[in-house]
Structure 1
Amino acid sequence: MASAAQEGRNQSRILFVKNLNYSIKGEDLYELFGRYGPIRQIRIGDGPKTKGTAYVAFEEMNDAKQALDRLNGFHLQERYIVVLYHMPQKLTAKAELARREAELEALKQAHNITDDQR
């Protein structure tokens, strides 16, 4: 069971929603998620890698928690949606790792180092 401090770190006012029907509209999401509290913003993915996803930003963290608790697995427009807390620190960590790996690769090439072990 998560401690209160750990749970607080895992919560956010912003929810990440995936497995959405590609024809979903902002109004559909405002109607569904708005039942749980005032919404600051909804952003629907429209690129090849983001289609079928959205971010829903609530005014209050408790409203986001209620929406996540009640809507994760909800059947919406012939799809079962997945609702998660948005975790920007994970995205930052991935970007940092990719940057460091690229730096390492550049150093290997600059110093003619290969990964071959003989």
Structure 2
Amino acid sequence: MAMANRQNRGAKLPPEVNRILYIKNLPYKITTEEMYEIFGKFGAVRQIRVGNTAETRGTAFVVYEDIFDAKTACEHLSGYNVSNRYLVVLYYQATKAWKRMDTEKARTKLEDIKERYGIGGDIDKEKEKLGLFTPRRI
């Protein structure tokens, strides 16, 4: 595989291709050593980070030394069966990750402002607090 990678070095890559792969649907009990064993077959791996919190369990980041090794790994390991789970291998896209973080940050900031000024989400309750509530006629 390394020989095929060297031949394709002059090929133009799509913009989403990079050295960092984002892996989903991993078994929860997979070890870093097992990850190196699986992903190391496609080239030199610089770093592997396996998720260990409730939100990140079953995911990992794999950073390759070479972009062509990452491309080969992504092509070959997407759909690969590990402990009866099929891996989802994607290229890491920082812009999507930052957008998500910005959205969460904005949401928490909005909640803080609502709490500070005593604003809730129910319009009828807000009108009642301000004395603008008019009872519905049946």
Q: TM-score, normalised by structure 2?
A: 0.68
Taking the TM superposition and a 5 Å limit, the aligned residue runs for 1:99-118 are 99-103=105-109, 106=113
Q: Where do 5+ consecutive residues of structure 2 fail to align?
A: 1-11, 124-138
Kindly indicate whether residue 64 of structure 2 is the aligned counterpart of residue 58 of structure 1.
yes
Map of 1:27 onto structure 2: 33
The structure whose RCO (Cα within 8 Å, separation 6+) is larger is 1
> What secondary structure sits across from 2:55 in the alignment?
coil
Map of 1:37 onto structure 2: 43
1:66-100 deviation digits (Å, cap 9, x = unpaired)? 00000000011221111011112111112223434
Kindly indicate whether residue 83 of structure 2 is the aligned counterpart of residue 81 of structure 1.
no
Paired residue total? 113
Q: How high is the sequence identity, in percent, across the aligned residues?
A: 38
Larger Rg: 2
Offset of residue 46 of structure 1: 1.0
Q: Where do 5+ consecutive residues of structure 1 fail to align?
A: none
Offset of residue 102 of structure 1: 5.0
Q: TM-score, normalised by structure 1?
A: 0.78
Q: Structure 1: how far apart are the matches of 2:26 and 2:56?
A: 10
Offset of residue 103 of structure 1: 5.0
User: How well do the aligned residues superpose, as a CA RMSD in angstroms?
Assistant: 2.6
1:7-26 deviation digits (Å, cap 9, x = unpaired)? 22x11211111111112111
Q: Structure 1: how far apart are the matches of 2:109 and 2:55?
A: 26
Q: Structure 2: how far apart are the matches of 1:45 and 1:39?
A: 17
Map of 1:71 onto structure 2: 77
> What secondary structure sits across from 1:64 in the alignment?
helix
Match of 1:12 among 18, 22, 35: 18
